[in-house]
Copies of this chain bind each other. A is one copy, B any other.
């Protein structure tokens, strides 16, 4: 366990993950309130919305309004994502911190199903996007490899395939003179197991030992935090996660697709292991409870129901 990081960065994706998949209409004011509450917990990034086609993702129809209404703290990055140039064109009109990214899927079939592009076409599209980012002065900070741990269409994904995807994206970044802050490996449809995390992270790191890797884990089959533990043991210090466990991929190709790992459960585990996050766990748990109130049903986060240990520790020491 000597490789445990001293501190991890947590990228909160709950508002975007949650509001894109919840079927009930959620008031714009509630979305804004939730983003603002999250920003009070010590999180350094809150991903608020996605700029996607409202016909495909009705919950994001008010993305421009949400982005405009949030009262921003100066020490928090309020971000949003886009999947194509049209989305980015809308995104840059908002006060959000829009950053470009490179993306591809380790599964060619997943790409075809979700974007109607094969991997070669995806890489071509990424170059076109990079040119657009340069033209619009949008900083590019990361690359993401989706379905890096398995795919519902192609089954198991070889770690070497993920490594080659990382290589392709790093090459494009190089072509444009961009140094990426992090490369994200995404368990888009929840195939990850601790051993698969070890294999994929190990294979990528063998080739680029100094590359800053980040994990985007979904908890589809219950191993989310165990996968995160394995990553921590390998020194991974950067995670995407979702308050209350909000979310799920609307395009994942099967129902029960669970959301990202739950932010407050991850933060609890980190703190209990002596790993700093800079986040006020009790405040974050209150955000998770607010999320349940807003969506109107129970959400999968655990510690929001079990309660943090702070009151017991206080009681025990009183």
Contact = CB atoms under 8 A, between A and B. Distances in A.
B307 A273 contact: no
B272 A315 contact: no
Contacts of A221: 265, 268, 302-303, 306, 308-309
Contact of A225 (B191, B223, B312): B223
Contacts of A118: none
A220 B150 CA distance: 28
B313 A269 contact: no
A5 to B, nearest CB: 13
Contacts of A256: 305-307
Interface stretch (A19-27, A64-72, A164-172, A193-201): A193-201
Interface of A: 1, 150-156, 190-191, 193-196, 198, 219-223, 225-226, 228-230, 254, 256-258, 262, 265, 268-269, 272-274, 298, 300-303, 305-309, 312-313, 315-317
10 contacts: A150-B312, A151-B316, A153-B316, A154-B316, A156-B313, A156-B316, A191-B309, A222-B303, A225-B225, A258-B306
